[in-house]
């Protein structure tokens, strides 16, 4: 059944340790069966490892954002039907969707 109007996007609160919304969203995606504390432990543990390996001036949050920018897709393929054939057409990805993919 279709919606009468667009669903309202909920605002995600920033995480407790770094105050970053992107890290909080990543934890929510990583979370399984509502175990947010386990997801926090995994993410904060990984960021602690980044800080230890990076040396004194390494910022784990900046490294995390750089890693996310490196893996975000710029284009995706969409199916386009022309005549009787279906073609894969490359389309640029919206900024919000890049984060989700």
| pTM of the complete model | 0.74
Work out the pLDDT band at 85, boundaries 50, 70, 90.
very high
Q: What is the pLDDT of residues 60-81, one digit of tens each?
A: 888 888 888 888 888 888 898 9
Whether residue 100 is predicted with pLDDT greater than 70 in this model: the reply is no
Q: Which domains does the chain have, with CATH numbers?
A: 21-100 (1.10.455.10)
Q: How far is CA 56 from CA 45, 76, 86, in A?
A: 17, 39, 54
* Residue owning tokens 């279709």: 2
pLDDT at 42: 92
Task: Work out the average pLDDT over 42-56.
Answer: 86
CA 70 centroid distance within chain = 12
Q: Please name every residue paired with 92 in a beta bridge, in sequence order, or none if there are none.
A: 75
- What's the rounded mean pLDDT across residues 5-19? 87
Pairwise pLDDT comparison (50 vs 101), residue with the higher score: 50
**pLDDT at residue 44, rounded to an integer:** 92
């Amino acid at each position: 059944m279709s919606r009468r109007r667009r669903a309202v996007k909920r605002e995600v609160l920033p995480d407790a340790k770094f105050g970053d919304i992107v890290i909080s969203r990543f934890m929510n995606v990583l979370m399984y069966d509502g175990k947010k504390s386990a997801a926090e432990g995994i993410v904060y543990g990984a960021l602690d490892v980044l800080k230890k390996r990076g040396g004194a001036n390494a910022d784990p949050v900046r490294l995390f954002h750089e890693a996310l920018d490196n893996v975000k897709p710029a284009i995706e393929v969409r199916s386009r039907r022309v005549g009787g054939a279906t073609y894969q057409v490359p389309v640029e990805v919206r900024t919000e969707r890049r984060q989700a993919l």
